[in-house]
Structure 1
């Protein structure tokens, strides 16, 4: 029987988490409500649960955890994730399309807030930095994302959703759903820029790491110190780590 994470709030106090052999990573699925791909993937995971599952952000195309209408939209998928987290260890990294998720929504899941990313993990005596990936982009973007994820803004969105009976959320949702989702188009300078950003961050906070693992950019690039998690939406793949190696496969 798979080990269940009984107390995620206590577990998260550990400064370095452990990645187990056979863990899988899913990023940038951009699931919409009643998405059949979501149900198929989660049903497969429920039937054959890996030792760990890492949802690495942007699993939903739009999920704002403080908005009742948004939670209702994705209730069926969230229920599947909750069921999965009761039979195996599940981590959920907030992304820029899914944030403000409260512990009561996924009570057995370890939720990694954006403000705590990148997060240190250990694997076979190596240290990895994990993040959704929408970090170190630009001061303007950082101001935007910190603003919309601020607790006061999230609470305001809750009240707006209530007094508009979900109509305001539906307007925003429909606009977001029309947004194009695409893979990284100009990867030539991407790797060096990303690795340098992480290097500067690690130096600033006196962190040591062996490799970076992130999603967000919808690509499969890698080098000795960096591994991009493929987008489930764009590349139709998920990532698995086994025997000190990452393997991407179509799910």
Structure 2
């Protein structure tokens, strides 16, 4: 199967960490639905929701409005959703969305003759992380945790909520280029011209051994999103900041 085409005008959003206490992403989706923001293709780069785990129904309530909007939009808009480490096993919740699981990332697309490798970014992070991420995606483990959480009145999800509210999504990572160089070496992405990731929230781009690396800024930090543009005499991505007051009386 040939790679999908990354369309000019496509919008990329990473790490919105949408939750009842953080709702700008909901407003952004409303802006697309109303036609205020126009795009032929929406690429969600993972951690779009702060807590959305497919086998844990108690996490759906946190995200009902966002899921409903994505399902409505996907009826007439191509949406590609790369699962992150905060939102996974979600394909059944978004039946018309092209959901890309972690094991199928990087997801290869093409744009103006270049191969673009897209991934959330939490790959090649060491054996400890690999063990952890395999464990939390195991359906048997999640079924057990769901039972314990239900019997305990939702204490696990409540504890996770407390942890998420305290997390700082906007801190810089020292020696970031060295970290990325080591990861890209392990991933062996010789087929790619450009690598685009989220996860690290750094909003940085640089060249490494002839490969263009782009780490997207987190929407959760400053509502930054990225639009694909023609690469003739300009960068691949144009970044913009979305600002909109929450709908009065709803959030």
TM-score tier, shorter chain, comes to 0.7 to 0.9
Q: For residues 20-169 of structure 1, what are the structure 2 equivalents within 5 Å?
A: 20-33=7-20, 35-48=22-35, 49-101=38-90, 103-169=91-157
Secondary structure at the counterpart of residue 58 of structure 1: coil
Structure 2 alignment gaps of length 5 or more:
243-251
Deviation at 1:140, TM superposition (A): 1.2
Q: Give the C-alpha shift of residue 165 in structure 1.
A: 4.7
Partner of 1:8: none
* Superposition deviation, residue 25 in structure 1: 0.4
SS of 1:74's equivalent in the other structure is: helix
Alignment partners' CA distance in 2, 1:110 and 1:139: 28
Count residues in correspondence.
232
The CA deviation at 1:197 is 2.5
CA deviation after TM superposition for structure 1 residue 214, in Å? 0.3
User: What SS is found at the alignment partner of 1:234?
Assistant: helix
**Deviations 1:161-189, CA, capped at 9 Å, x for gaps:** 44445343223322332223223232xx4
Give the Å deviation of 1:195.
Answer: 3.9
Aligned equivalent of 1:6: none
Deviations 1:57-103 (A, max 9, x none): 111122112111101221111111111111210011111111121x2
Q: Which residue of 1 aligns with 2:163?
A: 175
Once the two structures are superposed, residues 122-158 of structure 1 have per-residue CA deviations (whole angstroms, 9 ceiling, x without a partner) of: 1111101110111122221121112111232233334
- Pick one of 204, 211, 224 that aligns with 2:194: 211
CA distance in 2, matches of 1:24, 1:183: 24
CA contact (8 A) 1:90 1:109 kept: yes
- Normalised by the length of structure 1, the TM-score is 0.84
Q: TM-score, normalised by structure 2?
A: 0.84
The range that moved more, 192-201 or 225-234, is 192-201
Aligned mates of 1:163, 1:212 — CA distance in 2: 44
Contact 2:55 2:139 in 1 (8 A): no
Residues 130, 213 of structure 1: 8 Å contact kept: yes
Cα RMSD, aligned residues only = 2.0
| Deviation for aligned residue 1:34 | 6.3
| Matched-pair contact (CA < 8 Å) for 2:224–2:241 | yes
CA shift for structure 1 position 110: 0.6
The correspondence for 1:227, drawn from 185, 206, 214, is 214
Question: Quick one: structure 1 residues 247 and 173, their matched pair in 2 at CA, closer, same or farther if it must change by over 3 Å?
Answer: same
Cross-structure match for 1:9: none
